[in-house]
């Protein structure tokens, strides 16, 4: 008795790639183990303690960062390229209140976007 299964070979030909490309413009999240979590989109309240633009670092007192399981604290963040417009970055000073998006990037905690 023979059964021939020749149908259905072209069903998986089209994958929706546009949505993925939009979510990760720089493609840096490939090392992340939890692709289902969209934590990088979370805006977190933060207050500037120290600005080091030459060193691409910000010291922030931040609220809880849920997607990193991190309680509120004061700590140093790397500053990712393109996190904000140069004019905005140049205007930052201690005491400013911000909203930031935070990511783990190559083992470091970086601010990937910020706004007032
Ligand atoms: Cu922290």
Residue-wise pLDDT tens digits, 46-79: 999 999 999 999 999 999 999 999 999 999 999 9
Rounded distance from Cα 104 to ligand 1 centre (Å):
11
Give a yes or no: residue 70 inside a domain. yes
Give a yes or no: residue 33 inside a domain. no
Give a yes or no: residue 27 inside a domain. no
Nearest Cα neighbor of 32 from 63, 68, 7 is: 68
pTM above 0.85, yes or no: no
Write out the residues surrounding ion ligand 1, Cβ under 5 A. Answer: 70, 73, 75
3-state secondary structure of 39: helix
Rounded distance from Cα 95 to ligand 1 centre (Å):
17
- What integer best gives the mean pLDDT of the chain? 80
Nearest Cα neighbor of 77 from 98, 95, 52 is: 52
Rounded distance from Cα 64 to ligand 1 centre (Å):
8
Residue-wise pLDDT tens digits, 7-54: 444 444 444 544 444 444 454 444 554 444 555 579 999 999 999 999
In the chain, the number of structural domains is 1
Rounded distance from Cα 72 to ligand 1 centre (Å):
6
> What is the CATH classification number for the domain harbouring 111?
2.40.50.320
Give a yes or no: residue 14 inside a domain. no
Query: Which structural domain range is residue 74 located in?
Result: 39-115
């Amino acid at each position: 008795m023979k059964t021939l299964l020749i149908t259905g070979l072209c069903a998986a030909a089209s994958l929706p790639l546009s949505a993925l490309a939009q979510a990760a413009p720089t493609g840096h999240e490939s090392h992340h183990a939890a692709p289902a979590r969209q934590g990088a989109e979370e805006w977190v309240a933060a207050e500037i303690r120290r600005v080091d633009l030459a060193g691409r670092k910000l010291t922030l007192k931040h609220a809880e960062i849920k997607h990193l399981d991190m309680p509120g604290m004061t700590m140093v963040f790397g500053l990712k390229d393109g996190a904000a417009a140069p004019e905005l970055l140049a205007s930052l000073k201690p005491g400013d209140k911000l909203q930031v998006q935070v990511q783990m990037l190559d083992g470091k905690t970086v601010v990937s976007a910020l706004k007032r």
